[in-house]
A = this chain, B = another copy of it.
């Protein structure tokens, strides 16, 4: 799909605030309400906009302890990978999990309450998944940037 400047601006606005009314958007874009409405519907239909979500403040919900955990598997055959990934998806503490190139196989972003909760998570959940040969935890000491918005 191709985006003109209005689409780009529209996506920028919706990525910043999904609660803006089409009326407000139409004013910022110098378009009619209907035109904006149809552009949004098209972007949704095409799957460019995948969802609208509420973002929470980690600090207010006891999830302010963030760890980036590098994981290495014993082997890399299709079955083991599928099994591992299937388990990871279920873990609510894991917000992001990327299969990566390099020394480690996966990088996980884990959010829990504190170090104690992380210890508990490691012992009872992560390392109970089979096929993991090693992990390396890197603790977040500060969040410089964390956005969901892409610049088109």
Interface residues, chain A, CB within 8 Å of chain B?
Answer: 1, 3, 11, 14-19, 46-58, 60-61, 63, 66, 68, 85, 88-89, 92-102, 104, 106-107, 111, 138-152
Q: Measured between alpha carbons, how far is A8 from B82 in the docked complex, in Å? A: 31
Q: Taking A68-B98, A139-B101 as contacts, is the C-beta distance between A88 and B144 under 8 angstroms?
A: yes
A22 to B78, CA, bound (A): 44
> Is the CB–CB distance between A52 and B141 below 8 Å?
no
- A138-B100 contact, Cβ under 8 Å, with A46-B60, A55-B49, A55-B51: yes
Q: Return chain B residues, CB-CB under 8 Å to A150.
A: 56, 58, 61, 63, 92, 95, 111
Closest CB-CB distance, A93 to chain B, in whole Å? 8
- CB A88 to nearest CB in B, in angstroms, measures 6
